[in-house]
């Protein structure tokens, strides 16, 4: 039942004036509700792998979590045999949403629809219906299971795809696997908790902000951490034109150099390693993997409307972390990269201003750096942003070589 939601992309349903220059981005893509509905299909149920979870979030049979893949509500669940599945969160009878809560376990009772009491096993198969004697003789429960996405795993990360043409996951991730190996190790993590917040901005602006190293020293001036560049730290920002991913790194600032720069280590405390190596990856289109100042985090970027995006911040420890380190991560994560962390609040303020002004006609421009350069990139280059939009353009059916549908 994989790929049941796949569509054939012909081009956007609205006239889209996209300049041929690769450094100009039409603001309509941030404000047009018809285009938003189109890209939920063309991008998120297109030939991509969408990050939907980590196995540590559903460690036991029957454990599940809910989120969405574009506009499609899904249930990420471990079935009775231990297999990870991604089910469409809608009853096969009349389409009512099966699960409203964020997490739980259904190993004993299954998923039960409140409307007509149809019940499904964790593997998506239909277990039973109410008043079964009233159904015609030819009714077969095996014909009414829940639609499922294709599922692939990498180092515990769970990916879903609704398209038959999506390449194998490791091919899709390409060179990003090196960064994921560095952050995830053997993949064994411990789930600590999640926090959700709504940003009043288009989902692409939120993702673009992660690609944008240029804003860090300008917007986040309250953090002395930005001075690390002059104290031995190096920033490298590889990005991959093929699939639109990002892997941003900062290399090796020893702790003894970090302490006099930051002075107060309360917020940016690093206890799990002798240097401040950081890694932040975006898995196109909407997954974020971060190892930053002892904050081991996944972010799920969940579009709600053309001008609203739900971000789920999910925090982890390593499976073999001592309890003292786990407690440290619990304190550190939300303070550094949680919804109420100053970095997030500053980003939110800037992104909301961009969203509000995007109703004005014109183009956004990305000028610094060139997409023709090869890694390593300077962290202030805007080439990664260009690659993100090149991947986006291909999926929505706007040929990059012509600059128009």
pLDDT digits (tens, 9 = 90+) for 78-106: 999 999 999 999 999 999 999 999 999 99
CA-nearest of 215, 218, 254, 213 to 235 is: 213
Region 287-303: mean pLDDT is 94
Region 328-352: mean pLDDT is 82
Whether residue 7 is contained in a domain is answered as no
| Whether residues 231 and 340 fall in one domain | yes
Percent of the chain with pLDDT strictly greater than 90:
52
DSSP result, 264-275: --SSS---SSSB
344 pLDDT more than 60 = yes
Residue 69: CATH number of its domain: 2.102.10.10
The residues pairing with 365 across neighbouring beta strands, listed in sequence order, are 24
What pLDDT does 361 receive? 65
CA-nearest of 149, 167, 166 to 158 is: 149
| Whether residues 371 and 254 fall in one domain | yes
| Whether residues 221 and 357 fall in one domain | yes
Q: Give whichever of 90-99, 206-215, 229-238, 326-335 has the largest mean pLDDT.
A: 90-99
Please give the C-alpha separations between residue 321 and each of 14, 167, 289, 325, 327, in angstroms, as whole numbers. Answer: 51, 35, 19, 6, 10
What pLDDT does 38 receive? 93
Percent of the chain with pLDDT strictly greater than 70:
76
What pLDDT does 383 receive? 75
Whether residue 180 is contained in a domain is answered as no
Tell me how far apart the alpha carbons of residues 73 and 64 are, in angstroms, rounded to a whole number. Answer: 13
Half-sphere exposure of 49 (CA within 13 A, CB side): 24
| Whether residues 143 and 193 fall in one domain | no
| Whether residues 214 and 116 fall in one domain | no
What pLDDT does 386 receive? 84
41 pLDDT more than 90 = yes
| Whether residues 131 and 213 fall in one domain | no
Whether residue 1 is contained in a domain is answered as no
Whether residue 333 is contained in a domain is answered as yes
| Whether residues 293 and 344 fall in one domain | yes
Tell me how far apart the alpha carbons of residues 119 and 124 are, in angstroms, rounded to a whole number. Answer: 9
**Per-chain mean pLDDT for the chain:** 83
- Residue pair 312/53 in contact (Cβ under 8 Å)? The answer is no
Q: Using only C-alpha atoms, what is the Rg of the chain?
A: 22
Q: Which H or E run includes 248?
A: strand 245-251
217 pLDDT more than 50 = yes
| Whether residues 192 and 341 fall in one domain | yes
154 pLDDT more than 90 = yes
Region 368-374: mean pLDDT is 49
pLDDT-based confidence at 352, cuts 50/70/90? confident
Whether residue 25 is contained in a domain is answered as no
| Whether residues 288 and 228 fall in one domain | yes
37 pLDDT more than 60 = yes
Whether residue 58 is contained in a domain is answered as yes
| Backbone dihedral angles phi then psi of residue 241, each to the nearest 5 degrees | -65, -30
What pLDDT does 3 receive? 43
Residue 386: CATH number of its domain: 3.90.380.10
| Whether residues 195 and 325 fall in one domain | yes
Domain range enclosing 66 = 50-154
User: Greater confidence, 285 or 381?
Assistant: 285
Whether residue 167 is contained in a domain is answered as no
Tracing tokens 């077969």 back to the chain, one arrives at 140
Positions of E strands within 93-226? 103-105, 111-112, 119-120, 126-128, 150-154, 157-161, 189-199
For 286, left (φ over 0), alpha (ψ -120 to 50), or beta? Answer: alpha
Region 365-386: mean pLDDT is 59
Burial class of residue 55 (count of CB atoms within 10 Å of its CB; 0-12, 13-18, 19+): buried
pLDDT tens digits, residue range 98-146? Answer: 999 999 999 999 999 999 999 999 999 999 988 888 888 888 999 999 9
| Whether residues 273 and 315 fall in one domain | yes
Whether residue 364 is contained in a domain is answered as yes
The count of domains in the chain is: 2
Query: Of the candidates 128, 154, 180, which is a domain's last residue?
Result: 154
| Whether residues 202 and 143 fall in one domain | no
What pLDDT does 188 receive? 97
pLDDT tens digits, residue range 261-288? Answer: 555 545 555 555 544 567 889 999 999 9
pTM summary value: 0.89
What pLDDT does 26 receive? 86
Query: Of the candidates 154, 180, 201, which is a domain's last residue?
Result: 154
Residues 6+ apart with CB under 8 A from 344: 197, 337, 338
What pLDDT does 66 receive? 98
Query: Of the candidates 101, 135, 154, which is a domain's last residue?
Result: 154
């Amino acid at each position: 039942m994989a790929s049941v939601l796949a569509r054939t992309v012909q081009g956007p349903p609205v006239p889209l004036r996209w300049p041929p220059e690769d450094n100009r981005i039409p603001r309509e893509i941030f404000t047009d509700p018809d285009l938003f509905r189109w890209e939920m299909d063309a991008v998120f149920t297109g030939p991509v792998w969408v990050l939907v979870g980590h196995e540590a979030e559903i460690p036991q049979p029957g454990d599940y979590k809910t989120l969405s893949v574009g506009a499609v509500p899904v249930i990420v669940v471990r079935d009775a045999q231990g297999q990870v599945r991604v089910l469409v969160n809608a009853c096969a009878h009349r389409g009512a949403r099966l699960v409203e809560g964020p997490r739980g376990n259904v190993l004993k009772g299954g998923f039960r629809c409140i409307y007509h009491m149809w019940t499904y096993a964790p593997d998506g198969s239909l277990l039973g219906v109410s008043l079964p004697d009233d159904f015609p003789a030819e009714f077969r429960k095996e014909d009414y299971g829940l639609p499922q996405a294709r599922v692939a795993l990498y180092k515990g990360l769970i990916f879903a795809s609704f398209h038959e043409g999506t390449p194998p996951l490791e091919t899709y991730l390409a060179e990003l696997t090196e960064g994921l190996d560095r952050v995830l190790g053997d993949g064994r993590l411990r789930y600590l908790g999640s926090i959700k917040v709504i940003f009043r901005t288009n989902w692409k602006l939120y993702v673009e902000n992660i690609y944008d190293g240029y804003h860090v020293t300008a917007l986040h001036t309250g953090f002395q951490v930005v001075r690390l560049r002059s104290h031995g730290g190096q920033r490298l920002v590889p990005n991959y034109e093929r699939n639109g991913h990002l892997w941003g790194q900062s290399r090796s600032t020893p702790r003894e150099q970090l302490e006099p720069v930051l002075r107060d280590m309360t917020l940016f405390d690093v206890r799990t390693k002798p240097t401040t190596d950081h890694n932040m990856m975006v898995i196109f289109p909407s997954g974020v993997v971060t190892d930053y100042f002892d904050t081991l985090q996944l972010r799920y970027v969940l579009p709600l409307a053309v001008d609203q995006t739900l971000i789920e911040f999910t925090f982890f420890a390593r499976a073999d972390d001592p309890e003292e380190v786990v407690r440290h991560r619990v304190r550190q994560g939300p303070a550094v990269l949680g919804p109420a962390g100053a970095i997030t609040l500053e980003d939110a303020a800037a992104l909301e201003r961009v969203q509000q002004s995007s109703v004005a006609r014109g183009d956004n421009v990305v000028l610094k750096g060139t997409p023709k350069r090869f890694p390593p990139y300077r962290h202030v280059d805007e080439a990664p942003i260009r690659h993100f939009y090149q991947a986006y353009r291909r999926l929505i059916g706007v040929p990059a070589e012509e600059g128009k549908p």
